[in-house]
A and B are shown apart, each in its own frame.
Chain A
Amino acid sequence: MAQTQTKEELTKYLDPKVLSKITRLDLQARLVVEGFISGLHRSPFHGFSVEFASHREYVWGDDIKHIDWKVQARTDRFYIKQYEEETNLKATFLLDASESMLYGAAGKKDGLTKYQYAAAVAASLGFLLLQQQDAVGLAVFDEDLRTYLPASANPNHIKSLVHAMAINNPKLKTSMEGICHSMAEKIARRGLVCLVSDLFCDVDGLLRGLQHFRHYDHEVVVLHVMDADELTFPFQGNTMFRGMEETGRLTVEPRALRQGYLESVEAFCKEVKRKCVANRIDYKLISTTDHLDAALLEFLAARAAATKKSGAKR
């Protein structure tokens, strides 16, 4: 029962509404990761390496193949062997900090802006990876590269990452193609590149940038973060829409435009997804109201694919 309660307590931090009440990003990341891991019912991230690290007592859910039978014979208790995992993944997060990512806070009590949600996702994943001794880097950009932290496997690196995410205040337009090209040149060793953005930019240019990563054999994951409002367009009554990133203003009756708008959004997402698939890029559309495990699962799936690929190459 106690275990169940702990699990429920931790998984609640996957909910963005709950998470929005926690102001510190590092704390958010830790809670998300712990919640996420506790929800998996097993610990898949230990014991995959060849170098023994230590024993720990068996807990329910552990794979019995890792039980050290010798120790069991000696002590009559179940211990499983833990190994030091090697750092075999270099992940770099590209976090969009353009003005459009600011949408979402206005008029909501417990909502996250797209930027906050994206930062939470990136921090959580970074924290997770660092715990597994993977190297994590970060690039925060708008129309220019604002912050770039090269990948590091130092567990304390998470503080630098979180700090970099927190100090950036989105206010400018996006220019992703250039950023992608420049980052592709900066990241020397192949690894995993995760773009967290609303993708309100030139899609063809973005794809050309992502193809650059693919050219250097990076695994590329696109986490397309959109606000729930942007996906459902729930507005009523005459509204003046004031465009972010200098896209003008428009006074309309939203209900009349809803269907056409949703069709446009769906067409856009489908197009992006189609192009990503065509370039062997993992694509995941995430709403800011989605629990964060969706993003984490998607990322892990991509990471597993990357690990498998790197292992195959080795």
Chain B
Amino acid sequence: MPFIHPAIFWTGLGLVSLPIIIHLLNRRRFRVLDWAAMRFLLDSIRKNRRRLRIEELILLILRCLIIFLLACMVARFTGCAATDILPAGTSGSKSVVFVLDDSYSMGQKLGAGTLFAAARTDLQEKIASVPESDRAAILLTSRPRRREAFFDLNNITDGEGLLDQVKMLRPSDIRTDLSETLETAIRIFNDVQTGSKRLYVLSDFRRVDLADRQQIREIGKKFARLKKQGVEVVVMDYGRDVTNNLTVENVRLLDRFVVAKSPTPARIGLSVRNNGPSEVQDVQVHLEARFQAGGRTVGSSLGARTIASILPGESVSLEIPFTPTEAGSAVLTVKLQPDELPGDNVAHVAMNVRKALKVLILDGNRSLTEPEESESFFFSRAIDPNGDGGYGNRAEVFSAESVDEVDFDKYDVVALLNVRDFPSRRDPQGKIVYPRLDALERYVASGGGLIVFTGENANPTFYNGPLYAGGSGLNPFRLGERKGDPTQLEKFFQLDPKSIADVRFLRIFAGEAAGFTRLIRFTAFHAAQERAAAVADGRAGRPKVLARFTDSQNSPAIVGRQFGRGRVLMFYTTASKRWNDWPIETEIGTYVTVLQDAMTYLARPQIAGYTERIGVPVVFELGGALKDATGALMRLPNYPDQPDRTPGYAFDILAAKIRSVADELEDAGVAGLTVRALRESLRKARQKCVGQDSTGFKAELDKITGQLKASESQLQSVRDVRDALDEKLNDHWQGLLQREFHVPSRFSGVYKVLLEIAGEKKREILFARNVDPVEGRLAPAGKEGITTALGSGDYIYVDRTQQQAEATTSVRQDQEYWVWALVALLVLLAVETFLGQRFGHYS
């Protein structure tokens, strides 16, 4: 509202009806006069009826206008678009909020500078013109929350200092959300009780940002609330059409993991999109890699690929092979030729290169004296022929009895070969439990791979009991009776070639090679009870039969199942030559091929989080093998502009979440007492944590858990945080004191964790964060698009797309027009008096 006192204006607007009310009241009040000369009166009315009505209407309008102008004057009208041509006086105190869009699309080139630089210059001019009596706030769309405000609402006492800070601003690498920043602006204006309010939004207003209906609805709601608050909104539009812009739309690791020196190179998927208006030919895609070599991290160019042509709006995909020579962290960087928006021409993919897949083999028939009789003899040689991991797999064989001694989490795949069962014990309630089986289930659920071969040792009670677990265990089907006799070699079964599923590790039997199944003879197998399969529960996926035997029931030979994030493969025969001659089939060597591929199929994938979009925090825990690190730093992409980070306590992550919840509770209007108590408990918990007071620390965390529980009905996020806290407390709350990195990613590029480990050279662990490619779509929304998004045209639009200095660079200053309102009021009064007399209403 262009008024310093909008309430007075609205009151005055209501009083505009006063002349009408007075008129209506007067109609009820009259004096009575006996009159003789009625004929002349009637004659006068008959002749002047129409004129009288028009005159009365004119006077009524004039009187209403007079009250309206009076209201404008008293409410201190500060102008609108139509009053720009008028000189005006300076208004009283004002509150101005500047919202500067620093999304990376604002980095679009503009002459020697960028759109952001132009917006920043305008912002500096505006700030310089804000008098000390006024209050101002500056919000960046990349930091939308109020506590992150660049400059919160205050009087500008050190203008020069603020301008210097503004001068240092650069576009962020983030795709920003305008509605969140508008919400903060609303909260700031909520604190303003008096004076006029104005909001400047300096942005490029891209069409892609204003295309989503939900987004538009949110922005429209915020705008309506701002107008309700009486805020005058000035939109400064910097959006420009683009002449050429290529964007690395996607770059990712297509494989689940990368193994050093693997005969099969890792595959990197890449797509490039043409966001320009015309076709681009001979697009050079430069590749650079940073990987471990000679025990240290080196950088190297991998040359360039050429894309012949990309049409406007088209995406072209490439697949790039990559074979690192050493284990460790590696990053592949993709670069395009510089264009109008350089921010989206670079992308990275980070990976953790393994030396080899570590396979744990639990042998149910291990024989140290006669190794060939061991169940694992052929299996281990098939996946790791030389025992040195040279074929990408590093097999470690243990007897099934030593299952208690192994740590599953150290391995990528676990193989159970003719294992009888797992040790059990009774828990305090007397119930039989299998701790190692539970550990194995956790291991698979967290992403590990499990391959099981049966045999004569297999104990049906175990396999059909806890391992099957009613259909939701690791074993997909119940084991039936053994079929066939291993001693009668002339009676055998084979794999049904028609039943071979289209999975990568069975590709040796695919298509015309299906005949290779005839090379393998199975003298015995366990008939799986396929019909008894239970319906998959939340963790265990539906079993999938990947191959069948040629027996009369067409019994399943190989069954796969997803279990949590990991996979299970069940072979219903032996891995040795006891029940088949598959390991000694040398004509083609299908056994080796299938098992090698099966390891790749099963192996634990690279953990998520190495390569993500910007905004996803970089989380790295100094646990496991890195527990003994003596020093650790995280170097951000824009080092040295941003200093290195040291690992913080995991508690900090939770504390940040708890603070965020407290903010949300406060915003949701939950009683201040609850929020204050929560913040106080958090402060005490931090003190205890720093003071290494474990008991006191736990007590405070318990208190916080209770406070969160009391408030969880208010917000869903409270429950999430409480659950997270509970988990930490219940499982290993001491672990809260572990060291952990949790760095919000605000910059695109490569994040490095530099580790010092005793007896090793410095080790680098690399993470990649890439910009959101959608920002590369630079088509501007224009005034119409902005109006649609705001849901109203009630704002001042300043076209900065042409960047002409004399164009509407300066919006109407903060001025008052009450003098003009007064002049207009006096003129109207004079006109009313004159017309009143002229019309005979005044003597």
Binding site for B on A (CB under 8 A): 99-103, 106, 114, 198, 200, 226-227, 230, 235-245, 247-248, 250-253, 255-261, 263-265, 268
Contacts and interface: CB of A to CB of B under 8 A. Distances in A.
Nearest to B42: A250
Nearest to A259: B840
Contact of A241 (B29, B33, B839, B840): B33
B35 A236 contact: no
B63 to A, nearest CB: 14
Interface residues of B, number: 29
A261 B44 contact: yes
Contacts of B42: 247, 250
B31 A238 contact: yes
Interface stretch (B47-55, B573-581, B745-753): B47-55
Contact of B38 (A101, A102, A247, A251): A247
Contacts of B841: 253, 255-256
Given A255-B843, A258-B840, A245 B41 contact: no
Contacts, number: 107
B40 A264 contact: yes
Nearest to A268: B40
B843 to A, nearest CB: 7
A31 B36 CA distance: 30
Given A236-B843, A256-B52, A256-B839, A200 B36 contact: yes
A114 B39 CA distance: 17
A243 B48 CA distance: 20
Contact of B41 (A102, A241, A259, A268): A241
Nearest to A241: B35
Nearest to A250: B41
B758 interface: no
Contact of A103 (B34, B44, B45, B843): B34
Contact of B37 (A106, A253, A258, A265): A265
B36 A230 contact: yes
A242 B32 contact: yes
B639 interface: no
A198 B27 CA distance: 31
Given A200-B39, A241-B35, A251 B44 contact: no
Interface string B1-38: 00000000000000000000000001101111111111
A200 B42 CA distance: 14
A155 B661 CA distance: 119
* Interface residues of chain A: helix, strand, loop or mixed (majority): mixed
A114 B40 CA distance: 17
A105 to B, nearest CB: 10
Contacts of B40: 230, 261, 264-265, 268
A212 to B, nearest CB: 24
Contacts of B490: none
B45 A106 contact: no
Nearest to B43: A264
Interface in B459-514: none
Contacts of A258: 840
Nearest to A235: B33
Interface string B818-843: 00000000000000000000011111
A198 to B, nearest CB: 7
Nearest to A104: B36
A200 B48 CA distance: 22
A256 B34 contact: no
A106 B33 contact: yes
Contacts of A252: 41, 45
A296 to B, nearest CB: 24
A272 to B, nearest CB: 13
B35 A260 contact: no
Contact of B34 (A106, A237, A264): A106
Given A238-B29, A251-B30, A256-B52, A243 B35 contact: yes
Given A236-B843, A238-B29, A240-B31, A260 B43 contact: yes
A237 B41 CA distance: 15
Nearest to A243: B38
Nearest to B56: A256
Contacts of A250: 38, 41-42, 45
Contact of B36 (A236, A238, A245, A264): A245
A263 B38 contact: no
Interface string B333-356: 000000000000000000000000
B33 A247 contact: no
A240 B32 contact: yes
Contacts of B840: 255-259
Given A238-B26, A251-B30, A257 B35 contact: no
